[in-house]
Structures are given as structure tokens and as C-alpha cells.
Structure 1
Amino acid sequence: MAESTKQKIEKKVFKNIHASIIVKRTLIIFVTFCLFFTAQNSVAKDFDFTPNLQKAYSEIFKLKIQSGKDLLLKENPTNPFKIYLENYVDLVELINAENEEAYERILRKEDERLELIENLDLKSPYNRFLRAEIKLHWALLKIRFGHEVKAGWNVIQAYRLLEENQRMFPNFEPNQKSLGCLHVLFGSVPENQKWITKFLGLRGNIQQGMNELRLASKDKIWGLESKLCTIFIQAYVLKFDDKQNSDLLQLIDNQPDNLNFFLLATAVALKENHTEQAIELLKKHPTDPTYIYFPIFELYKAETLLFKGHYSQAINSYMAYLKNFKGKGFLKDTYYKLFVCYWLSGDEKKGRFYLTKIPTNGNAIAESDKAAQKFYENYIKTSILPNKTLLKLRLAFDGGYFEQAADEVENLSEKNFSNTKDHSEFAYRAGRIYQKLNQFDKAIVFFEQSIKLSDGQEWHFGASSSLQLGYIFQAKSQKNKARTYFEKAISYKRHEYKTSIDNKARAALTEMGY
């Protein structure tokens, strides 16, 4: 059956919203802390957040799912907070396990739970708020299981409930946090498609959302959750600096029994090239049986081992992820990383074997999975395997071992690379290494070289180099130059990291007032 115009518009909108959420290793983290309910007593008679339910929430938020479930058994089945927390449990378990059969079994519960809450006290701000949160939870589940258009409609409905709630109860603080997150997402939609969000009444921008989250972060009840959301957005949409890293580590120190914080902190540490920090977090995170088991930690461990060049140990951790995770997320990336481990260990035959697993396993939602799929497709077309020197250089950089990587760069030149793509990648990698070492003049030269070599190609090196040049000139207060490079980064049409690069460039332009 052909899609209606409305369905096409909704699908297009949601793909942009969806893309801004799905980034490397982040969906699990986001859903486990960014759209959850927070402890606050209600004065409405139907909305009784009892001490027992508050304890259940605390346990579930720490990812002690079974103890949270046990506490929920003691509550009235029609209590809306219990209904919400049951939904939250389903969200965490299904996102973690990606069990499609379990998802199909509980699909009916979305409408059942929403109807139970809708029929309660309409004068309570929790009526619309809890329904909006449940709709957002189900939006994330629908993304995970491939129902993007339906998920998009959930997001739209949740936003409208929250907007209505804001008009009716302007001092109701939970709305600031939830609307702040949604305003950031809407603000991440590409500029040339803003008309779609306006057409559907989805208003908001990144700066507005961040201001709402910062305001909520000062609240004695909502402060912690808002800080977590702010740090997440800083790390995956905007820029992440040393102060934000310190704030995140402080949260870990203050809540050493909260597995949620460790999920976020470990993912961010790996993303920000802090391998040694990630290793320490992996040693410290709670692992006793009261916590739900997250296979994603096997991937985090594998990444640290890969960056350090411990290939055989990394292989064991990647295989543990494949053994314990029954879903589809990050499978393509895992098989690609297994190829890398064997390739760099000198076992080309086994490496090629794992390459053949990429097209038939998992999905290509996460950018790392998209990159793995694209790598495989290029390999099939050209039969060319990656340059080992470049690969090791990238891993040293990704691990945060910049001095070691710089020593390698000093011994290399364009003569070491047989094709333009490798030369372009080398220039980009060298630029990033010198940028991290605050040697900006050298970095600029290499980035500009990478842009020139990438002209007309579908590699990400030109776009990535443009983005980093934008940051460099932004830091130098050369706004016009920065704007030129941020806009150039957005101008690249096709590459595997377009969503994240475009989002970061647009956010920087907004920050500068453009």
C-alpha cells in the first residue's frame, strides 16, 4: 500500500530525530537515564508516589531490575506510578536484550497503560507527563525494533502532551527536563528540513533545550537527572570538555552503586579517547547479581584491549559479546573489529572470514555498524584491505595515545601511501593528533590537505577535517573562518558519519549566533 503524504512527512521527520539519537554505543545509555521518571511526591489523590514506589524507582534506575520488580508487587496495580515503572522496566529489559518475541508479546501494554493513566485525575500535571514519558519509551522501543514511522508519531504525541502540560502547569519542573531533551532533538534536524518540524508544530532548538536542562539542573529533585542529560548531549551532540568530564566522574564518585552512571561514563570515556579512564571505570563498575547484565560492557572492554594492541584478549571480549547478546545492534561493527584484530595479528585468512559475516548479521542503525557495512562493500568492490600503518595510527589516536601516534606520524609521508584515499586519511589522522597535542598550526595544514584530497569523494575525511577546522577557528575567535568550515562540513552529501558531523556543525553555528 502506498504511503500517504502525511506518513511520508512523519517518516522523514522521525528519521532526522531518530538519527540524532542513534550514535555509537549510545542508544542503551540514553534510554536508561534520559527519559525516565524522577522522584517527586504528588498531591493529587490518584497519583500517589509512595515511599515504596520511590524505592522501586531508585532500584530500577540503578539497573537493579529484579529488586525493583519485587517492590512493585506490593503496590496497587492501578497506581499510575507503578504503571509507569512497569513500563520503564520493560524498556530497559527490551532495549538491553533486543528480544523481538518479548517485544511482540507486550505491544498491547502500551495502549492499556496509557488508558489507565488517562482516565485518572486530569487536574494533575502527572496525568499528561506520565503518558508523555510512556509514549517516549515506546518510541525508543519502536526504533529498536524497526517501526520508525510509528515511533515518530509517538514522539509527536509526547511533545504535544508536554506542551499542553506546560501551558496548564508552567511551574511543573518535570516538563523542563523532558521538553529540554526534545527541543535539543528537534534542533538537530537539518536546516533545509526545518519546515517539516514547523509544519508538524515541533518547535524548539538546541540552545533552548540546553537552557531548560541547565535550569532544571539547579533543582534539588531534578538536578542530578538534568545534569546527566546535559552531559549526554554535550558528549554526543555538542562538545565535551575537561570540566564536563570531571563533573561526570564526580557523579560516579557520589553514586558508586549506580550502574547507569557507569554505562554513561564508560561510553563517553571511550568516545573521548580516554582509554585508561575507561579501563578504571570497567574495574570499578558494580557487577554483583542484583544488577541486570549488560553485554555492552563486553564491547567496552574489547575496545580498550584493541586500542592497547592486546588483540587476542580483545578477540575474547568481542566473542563474549556475540555469545551473550541476542539482538542486532553493533554486530556488524563487532565482526569488523574481529577482522581488525586478526588482520593486525597477521592472520589474514581468519580476518577475511569475519569480514564475510558483516553483511548477513545485525543491522545498520548505529553509525559504527553503517561504517562496517560500508567498509565491507568497498572491500567487495576493490578487494583492498586497509593499510596496517594507518589502522594502527587510528587505533592509537582513538585510544588517546597521542604522543605515541605523533611519533608514528613523524616517520611517515605521502610516499608511504599508494592511493589518494589512504593519503587523505593519513592527513586527517595527523591533523587530529596534532590538534589533541595543541599544535594547531600543524593540524591546520594537515586538515586542509585532507580536504583537498577528498574533493568529490564520499569519504568522511573531508567533512571531518572541515568540522575540526571549524572548532579550531572558533576557539581562536575567528568566527567567519569557523562558519565557513562548519558550513563546508555540512555540505558533504554522502558519508557514513554525516548525521553526527552535521549535528555538531549545526550546534556550533547556533552557539556562534548563526
Structure 2
Amino acid sequence: MISFAKKIFNSKKSVLQISLSVFKIAKTIKVLVVYCLLISTQCTANNFDFTPNLQKAYSEIFKLKIHSGRELLAKEAPNNPFKIYLEDYADMVELLNSENQKAYQKFLDKEDERLELIEESEKKSPYNRFLRAEIKLHWALIKIRFGHEIKASYNVIQAYRLLEENQQLFPNFLPNQKSLGCLHVLIGSVPENQKWISNLIGLRGNIQQGLQELQKASKDNIWGLEAKFCTIFIQAYVLKFDSKQNEEMLQLLENQPDNLNISLLLIAISLKDNRTEQAIELLKKSPQDSVYLYFPILELYKAETQLFKENYSQAIASYLTYLRNFKGKTFVKDTYYKLFICHWLLGDEKKGKLYLLKINGAGSIVAESDKAAQKFYENFIKNGVLPNKTLLKLRLLFDAGNFEEGKKELAKLSEKSFLNAVEQAEFNYRAGRIFQKLNQLEKAIGFFKRAITLTEENDWYFAPTSALQLGYIYQKNGDKEKAKRYFEKSLAYKRHEYKTSIDNKARAALTEMGY
């Protein structure tokens, strides 16, 4: 398989890498757990018996009540494929949440064992291929988290082929609409000039096809919740997220107030979409008692809201709680960076630098925020330069959603307020984002173009992100040619810390427009 992969994927961007890069979006806020594909419908074909007890177990595990879900599973026959699937799902949740390397090694053999047990079950049932595909996707996420990306890419391809075959054999089987819809969106995010790679290995699909499949599944009484869940995730992390999608996701939670899975996703999206007050309210309502699996990521969400509200001491407390309770590697570098920021803004530069110096020896650089923290550390060691506090406060105002306050701060500044090119580029980018959010698009366009000009010869992320936003602006205005030009421009930048997420969004936008 490895030699075959080397022959197929000599290009700089293989479809495997593209598929993996889409999966990596979930890792920046640690809600990958909520992206897994579940099983929740009645089946009566021979040994595929989705009993009421198993349906209850599914519901509990989906809500992240893992302990009670496992108790229900223990009452079922060991060879029931639905039990095997749900045990795999529960294991995946715990592995992704804990990042426990010993537990990962312990469960490695479970993938093949479970796949074989299901494959030996009733061959004529549509669940035979479907459940195997779902387990393949579970392990793709797990392998990515533990650094085995090539192996994960094989899982994605194998899952796709199982689902496609199942679709041909059972075209009215709704679960396939949900799972295949997600993969079709991801495959559809590949730009046109790289489609030959996905076609070569048999991966076909497009964004509209995938969204339509998810829409069909969303109307199902049982699968509808999960399909909506997947659609919201895709809108926020692959496509575009607007006020309409925001209302839809709030309604989803209102109908499922005891679902921590949905709550985690919505909090993460709210923070990502500059809706700090909404995130604070969601955190207050989030179910967090002892019946749920404890997620350290909640401490980071709390810390982020406090940072955006300029409550730095409270933010420090939550960041430290995350470090105490989480034994894995994801977001550790970013947390040390944020601890530096909080102490620095409180005026304690000495203590802040102690946390800054911890970045290099901690965590991993899988998540983009961790990559950014590592790059910040390396630049500091090389140049000894700390960030500009004025620009940092502009960024925090934007991240918090305080756009009018940000505009007031911008009125006091100009490009000449900053002494070097990187600060001038960042100023223009920050200004562009604030005016874009205020729908003052002509001003935003000017600032974004200036940020690109100042960044052309460097690997700062202000140029690719500005190009991406210009693409969105021109797309919104109906100017497809300019939108295409700027989306392609954002893809052209080779080295920056947010390349994965920016490239994914640019590719998705291009394919959405038919390029």
C-alpha cells in the first residue's frame, strides 16, 4: 500500500492530503469528537438488531454520557454489530478527549477486530458496509490525532468506497445520505486543477451534492438531528457561516438542551464567529454534571471568553486549569502563549515571558493555533520582539465581536502609527476585518489590498487571509472573476501557520462557484 501511495501521490497536493487537511479543521478548537458519524435507526435484518436498549445507549453516547452508555451496552449480546459499533464510538470519544497514548496503543487492534466481526454479519443488510465505513472514519480521526496521517487517509478512502457501494445497492438507505454527504462535501472542496488526483483513485462528489444529501437526511425522524449537526459543522469549518446558520444551530440546542455534544460544537463556533456574549450564555447553560464525560476543552472556552472580556486574571485561572486537567498535547502551546498574553497585558512582563519560554518544549504543532504559538516563540527567540500592544488589543476587540469599539480605536491610528512592515501589514488586515464585519466593504477592500502589498515578500498570514476575505467580498457582490482571482491568490501562499484552514475555505469557495 505504501509503495502504491508513493506512485500515486507525487504531486504536492494529493487528495489524501486534501482530505486530511479538511479533517484537521476540527482540531483548532478540539471539537473533533463531535464530528464522528453515528448510528441510530431500527434494523431488523438477522443479527443486525438495534434493540431499544441499544438505541438508548446510542442516545447517551451521542450526548457524551459515556458511562451510562457503556452500562447499557454491557447488557447486549457481544456479537451484535450495533453494540460493536457503539463501543467503537465510545472508545473514539474517550481517546480524542484524553489523547492518552497508552490507551491508544491498547485499542489499536480493536479496529480490525471490530471490522471483521461486522463484515461476517448478514451480508445483505445495508448496515454491513455502513457500520464498517463509520468505524473507518472513527479511526481516521483517531489516527490524525495521534500523528498517523497517512494511515488515516487510507481509512477515509476505504470508508468512501464502502459507502458508495452501499449507495448503489441500497439507494434509499438514509444513513448513507448523511455519511456520504459529508464526504462529498470534503471531496468537492478539492479545486478543479487537482480533481485528476481524486478521480484517479475513484473519489467523486461535489459540495452541492453533499449538502443536498445532508438535507435529505435531516428530514428523517431519527437521523435528522445528526444530519443537521454535520451540516452546521461543515458550514462553520469548511464553507461559510452566517446569521441564518447561527439561528439554526441555536434552535438545534434548544431542542436538545441536555446534549453536551451539540453544546460543545455551538460554543466553539460562537467563539470562532466572534460571538463572545453568545458563547458565555451557552457556557452557562452547558450540561456539565457528573453524568457527562469531563472535557478539559471547556476550560479553554471559559478562558477565551474571559480573555475577550479583558478579565485577564480569570482567564489565567481557566488556562491553568486546562493544563492541570489535560494530559495530551493539543492546544498546550497555544495555552502557554495565551498565559503570556494575559500576564503581559496585566503588566507582568517577567512572569509572562516564563510562560512564553515554555512553548517550545510543550505540546504538539498539529493544531493551527499551536503552530502559530510555536512560530511566535521562534520569532521572539530570533528577534527578541514582543507583539505590539495596540495591535493585540485590536485583535482581541475583533475576536470578541466588539466591532464598533474596534472602529473607534482605528480612528486614532494610521499605518504611520507603526514602525515596521509586519506591524503595518497587521494593522491593515485588522482594519479590513473590522470594516468587513461592519459591512463597510469599500473601506475593507482598501485595507485588505494594502495588507497584501505589504506582505508579498514574506510568509506572514496577513496576505493569504486578506486575499481570502477579498474573495468572499467579491463573491458576495457577484463579481466571480475577481472572487476567483483572490481565492486562487490565497492558495498561492506556500508557508504560513493558517495554511490548512485558509486553503480549505478557498478551495471550497472555488468549487462552489464552479471552478
Give me the TM-score of the superposition, normalised by structure 1.
0.96
Q: Distance in 2 between matches of 1:481 and 1:302?
A: 39
Deviation at 1:294, TM superposition (A): 0.3
Q: 2:16 aligns with which of 14, 18, 31?
A: 14
**Residue-by-residue CA offset, 1:172-193 (whole Å, 9 max, x unaligned):** 1111111111112222345554
Q: Does the alignment pair 1:103 with 2:104?
A: yes
Q: Which residue of 2 aligns with 1:475?
A: 476
Deviation at 1:233, TM superposition (A): 0.6
Deviation at 1:278, TM superposition (A): 0.3
Q: Does the alignment pair 1:31 with 2:33?
A: yes
Say if 1:270 and 1:278, in contact at 8 Å, map to a contact too.
Answer: yes
Q: Which residue of 1 aligns with 2:450?
A: 449
Give me the TM-score of the superposition, normalised by structure 2.
0.96
Q: Does the alignment pair 1:128 with 2:155?
A: no
Which letter maps to 1:4?
S
Deviation at 1:513, TM superposition (A): 2.5
Write the mapping of 1:2-81 to structure 2, written as runs, cut at 5 A.
4-7=3-6, 9=8, 12-23=14-25, 28-32=30-34, 34-81=35-82
Q: Which residue of 2 aligns with 1:307?
A: 308
Q: Does the alignment pair 1:151 with 2:152?
A: yes
Q: Distance in 2 between matches of 1:45 and 1:403?
A: 62
User: Once structures 1 and 2 are overlaid, which stretch shifts more, 472-481 or 366-375?
Assistant: 472-481
Say if 1:431 and 1:447, in contact at 8 Å, map to a contact too.
Answer: yes
Say if 1:7 and 1:149, in contact at 8 Å, map to a contact too.
Answer: no
Deviation at 1:168, TM superposition (A): 1.0
Say if 1:427 and 1:449, in contact at 8 Å, map to a contact too.
Answer: yes
**Residue-by-residue CA offset, 1:81-112 (whole Å, 9 max, x unaligned):** 00111101100001000111011111111111
Q: Distance in 1 between matches of 2:399 and 2:186?
A: 27
Q: Distance in 2 between matches of 1:354 and 1:151?
A: 34
Q: Which residue of 2 aligns with 1:400?
A: 401
Which letter maps to 2:5?
K
Q: Distance in 2 between matches of 1:285 and 1:80?
A: 32
Q: Distance in 2 between matches of 1:112 and 1:470?
A: 47
Between the two proteins, the alignment pairs up a number of residues equal to: 512
Which secondary structure state, in structure 2, belongs to the residue aligned with residue 122 of structure 1? Answer: coil
Q: Distance in 1 between matches of 2:210 and 2:42?
A: 25
Compared with structure 1, are the counterparts of its residues 10 and 71 closer, same or farther at alpha carbon in structure 2 (3 Å cutoff)? farther
Q: Which residue of 1 aligns with 2:176?
A: 175
Q: Distance in 1 between matches of 2:4 and 2:357?
A: 39
**Residue-by-residue CA offset, 1:430-487 (whole Å, 9 max, x unaligned):** 0110111111121111111111111121111111111111111222222222222222
Say if 2:23 and 2:141, in contact at 8 Å, map to a contact too.
Answer: no
Which letter maps to 2:509?
A
**Residue-by-residue CA offset, 1:331-350 (whole Å, 9 max, x unaligned):** 11111111111111111111
Q: Does the alignment pair 1:316 with 2:317?
A: yes
Which secondary structure state, in structure 2, belongs to the residue aligned with residue 23 of structure 1? Answer: helix
Say if 2:26 and 2:32, in contact at 8 Å, map to a contact too.
Answer: no
Q: Which residue of 2 aligns with 1:498?
A: 499
RMSD, aligned CA: 1.7
Write the mapping of 1:85-234 to structure 2, written as runs, cut at 5 A.
85-234=86-235
Deviation at 1:72, TM superposition (A): 0.8
Compared with structure 1, are the counterparts of its residues 13 and 479 closer, same or farther at alpha carbon in structure 2 (3 Å cutoff)? closer
Say if 1:180 and 1:210, in contact at 8 Å, map to a contact too.
Answer: yes
Q: Distance in 2 between matches of 1:46 and 1:95?
A: 30
Write the mapping of 1:253-264 to structure 2, written as runs, cut at 5 A.
253-264=254-265
Write the mapping of 1:310-459 to structure 2, written as runs, cut at 5 A.
310-459=311-460
Which letter maps to 2:239?
L
Deviation at 1:237, TM superposition (A): 0.8
Q: Which residue of 1 aligns with 2:239?
A: 238
Structure 2 runs not aligned, ≥5 long:
none
